[in-house]
Amino acid sequence: MRIAVAGAGAVGRSVAQELVSYGHKVLLIEKLVERYQPATVPGAEWFLADACEVASLEEAEMQICDVAIAATGDDKANLAMALLAKSEFGIDRVVARINDARNAWLFTEAWGVDVAVSTPVALVAAVEGAIDVGHLVRLMELGRSLPTGAGRRSANVAKFTLPDDSPLVGRRIGELALPDDTALVSVVRGDRLILGAADDELRAGDELVFVSGAAAEDRVTAMVSGAALPRLRRRKTSP
């Protein structure tokens, strides 16, 4: 797969290096001479140009790329590159970095963005995921923007850590009444990953990872909080 990455700053270089290690052909576009350092990612093809100019992208043969990633430190540049990649070159998958969370509402299909990655939001989610027990924490947004509800996404990845007093403790995984457009992807218990074990009983401290439609988040919250569950006498679980 050929992937164009705009921006050879710390983020762009890291992304490019990872993609190269996965076996992808990477085109790294940078407009600043001082950041044009091919030796830092030797496995990538480097191109000194402005990724916000159509002529530069034509010269870089953007049209033969499968994916475009706008990873600069400037939200305006990322939006411009995303729009050009989608509208002028027909790139099927466009990923854009959000530097300022206040600009997140702009990163939608209207600007050619299929997937928006917010650095500030990702950091907050990481912190919440580590310390917030008993609340549904959104970790990531997936899929393309919906045609209604600006800024909304078609699916979210969320995590819920079971507190000691959770009504889900002692229930079997297969008993969870999930909304139709929601899937329990995994249960993380210490260093153990539990997949598809319907008969396994949930324990305090378990981390439940869900993928759900954006409209289903309220129902998932109600389910994990026990609002829609009948009372269940706790069963003792072995350590």
Name the DSSP letter for residue 49.
S
Clarify whether residues 163 and 62 are in a common domain.
no
237 found inside a domain: no
Q: What does the pLDDT read at residue 83?
A: 97
Clarify whether residues 93 and 16 are in a common domain.
yes
CA atoms within 13 A on the CB side of 226: 13
228: number of Cβ within 10 Å: 11
CATH number at residue 57: 3.40.50.720
Domain-terminating residue out of 117, 146, 169? 117
Clarify whether residues 111 and 52 are in a common domain.
yes
Q: What does the pLDDT read at residue 199?
A: 83
Clarify whether residues 20 and 44 are in a common domain.
yes
Clarify whether residues 86 and 157 are in a common domain.
no
239 found inside a domain: no
Asked whether the predicted pLDDT for residue 9 surpasses 50, the reply is: yes
- CA torsion 150-156-161-167 (nearest 10°) is 90
Clarify whether residues 167 and 214 are in a common domain.
yes
14 found inside a domain: yes
CATH number at residue 170: 3.30.70.1450
Domain-terminating residue out of 117, 149, 173? 117
Clarify whether residues 101 and 16 are in a common domain.
yes
235 found inside a domain: no
Closest CA to 109 of 152, 66, 71: 152
Q: How many domains does the chain have?
A: 2
Residues 10-37 pLDDT 10s? 889 989 998 999 899 999 999 999 999 9
210: number of Cβ within 10 Å: 26
Q: What does the pLDDT read at residue 178?
A: 83
Quick one: tokens of 109? 């299909």
Q: Report how far residue 37's alpha carbon sits from residue 27's, in angstroms, rounded to the nearest whole number.
A: 13
162 found inside a domain: yes
In one-letter notation, the amino acid at residue 35 is R
233: number of Cβ within 10 Å: 5
Clarify whether residues 143 and 43 are in a common domain.
no
122 found inside a domain: no
Least confidently predicted of 67-71, 85-89, 117-121, 216-220: 117-121
Residues 180-196 pLDDT 10s? 788 888 888 888 888 86
11 found inside a domain: yes
Clarify whether residues 216 and 151 are in a common domain.
yes
- CA torsion 162-227-158-126 (nearest 10°) is -50
Clarify whether residues 97 and 163 are in a common domain.
no
Paired with 190 in beta bridges are none
Clarify whether residues 113 and 6 are in a common domain.
yes
Domain that holds residue 179: 132-225
Nearest-5° Cα angle at 121, 98 to 150: 65
Domain-terminating residue out of 72, 89, 117? 117
61 found inside a domain: yes
Q: Name the pTM for this structure.
A: 0.62
Clarify whether residues 138 and 111 are in a common domain.
no
The residue whose two tokens read 């439940």 is 208
